[in-house]
């Protein structure tokens, strides 16, 4: 296992669209393990491969209280979304220390492959539904701050750039 580096907004690599995984093999399984370790270490409840500069359709999620129920979604596909919306306060490992409310469908159904290449489907609500939509956005090259006003986005972008510069200056 090894920790991966999480890319921070507004890095242009976050806007790259992920390609489908052709085959779930040992390489993909290692990526899943490394992503899970990175997510748990952060700590976070979800991580998309795009966030660690791997541009393949892989997501790891664990919304359990004890962080012991890892879910893996390879080539996830949104099958259905409820017309009812719900607002959740979202955060992102790629936008550290920033949280804001985002409206999303309250319930979703997603089809994907697991870490063994087996197809499954899950219907989710609550935090899992939010997390799935948030991470699937990453695979499409979209960061949650894009749901916010231009003013908020610009403010976040400036803060993140300043923070990155401070890290470099202090290095």
Question: Binding-site residues, please?
Answer: 92, 134, 138
State the catalytic residues.
135
**Could you identify the residue written with the tokens 């093999």?**
25
Mean pLDDT for 119-127 is 98
At residue 161, the pLDDT reads: 87
Question: Binding-site residues for Fe cation, please?
Answer: 92, 134, 138
Whether the per-residue pLDDT at 169 is higher than 80: the answer is no
* Residues in the chain, overall count: 171
Provide the whole-model pTM.
0.94
Mean pLDDT for 148-158 is 93
Q: What is the pLDDT of residues 14-71, one digit of tens each?
A: 999 999 999 999 999 999 999 999 999 999 999 999 999 999 999 999 999 999 999 9
At residue 165, the pLDDT reads: 81
Task: Catalogue all structural domains in the chain, each as residue range(s) with its CATH number.
Answer: 12-169 (3.90.45.10)
Q: Which long-range contacts (CB under 8 A, 24 or more apart) does 150-158 make?
A: 152/100, 156/9, 156/95, 156/98, 157/9, 157/10
Mean pLDDT for 119-138 is 98
Q: Which of 8, 4, 6 is nearest to 143 (CA)?
A: 8
């Amino acid at each position: 296992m090894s920790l991966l580096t999480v890319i921070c907004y507004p890095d242009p690599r976050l806007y790259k669209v992920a390609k489908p995984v052709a085959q779930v093999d040992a390489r993909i399984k290692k990526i899943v393990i490394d992503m899970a370790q990175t997510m748990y270490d952060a700590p976070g409840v979800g991580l998309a491969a795009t966030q660690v500069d791997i541009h393949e359709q892989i997501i790891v999620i664990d919304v359990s209280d004890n962080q012991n129920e890892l879910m893996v979604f390879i080539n996830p596909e949104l099958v259905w979304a409820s017309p009812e919306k719900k607002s959740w306060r979202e955060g992102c490992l790629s936008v550290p220390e920033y949280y804001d409310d985002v409206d999303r469908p309250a319930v979703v159904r997603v089809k994907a492959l697991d870490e063994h290449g087996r197809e499954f489907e899950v219907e989710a609500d609550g935090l899992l539904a939010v997390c799935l939509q948030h991470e699937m956005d990453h695979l499409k090259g979209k960061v949650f701050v894009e749901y916010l006003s231009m003013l908020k986005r610009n403010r976040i972008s400036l803060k993140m750039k300043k923070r990155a510069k401070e890290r470099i200056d202090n290095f």
